[in-house]
Structure 1
């Protein structure tokens, strides 16, 4: 059984803040739209369902779930390939997977929520 990737909130927040303040290591412009924070209690019910599935290692509703998220958009902190994994957050009434995802990092409790298919991310604060 694979242990779901997680992180300590302080360590992840520091990495996120460092990335936001210092910017990317390259001089090329990036398309950072938004990296915010969201309280765990403010997530949609389906995101809570997805987080429970991650904690129990599935089963997942789509074959794309628990696959490597490559961070091609460059919005999340830069990490090695394989550090992030993505999971579908069901969108009620959608005929497809929809745009909502949870992306997890390897560190403890490092969960990002996106409602707009990777255009922006919110780090989940598990303390509220």
Structure 2
């Protein structure tokens, strides 16, 4: 093997290693916190995440008559905390916060994949993510579910 071929082989191996590391990091498999490291009453560690989707409005007025509204002020304090983190672009307490919500059951208005993103609402006393979430749409709409996507309410920030 010539020195040029060896150099090309080394570069190819390095590129493969970098790609594999990036895929591993983006999949989140290397970031989990062992459950034994947290007690059931401890808040999860906070990690930085990308900001909310570009162009997301900060004040959304509910427009979908088929989904019940809920006043932002009537949400649990932890949901209001999550909404504040979303407005700031993070950091979020769980590594899955900000991932695409796929709307598989079509309980929210039908949109293209990638339109909705989900965020965990901390549940005091829970040793996992619990069932409470805020789901946001790309143009600023916000939805609350306290029962892990079985029902949704559109969040009205005016009250």
- TM-score, reference length from structure 2: 0.63
The structure whose residues are more often strand, as a share, is 1
- Residue 46 in structure 1 maps to residue 72 in structure 2: no
Gaps of 5+ in 2: 1-49
CA distance in 1 between partners of 2:146 and 2:60 (Å):
23
Structure 1 spans left out of the alignment, 5+ residues: 21-34
Q: CA RMSD in A?
A: 1.6
Partner of 1:81: 113
What does residue range 5-84 of structure 1 map to in structure 2 within 5 Å?
A: 5-6=56-57, 8-9=60-61, 12-13=62-63, 16-17=64-65, 20=66, 35-84=67-116
- SS of the residue 1:113 aligns to: strand
Higher relative contact order (CA 8 A, sep 6+): 1
TM-score by length of 1: 0.77
Could you say which structure has the larger radius of gyration? 2
* Closer, same or farther: CA 96–2 of 1 in aligned 2, 3 Å: closer
Pairwise CA distance, 1:3: 4.4
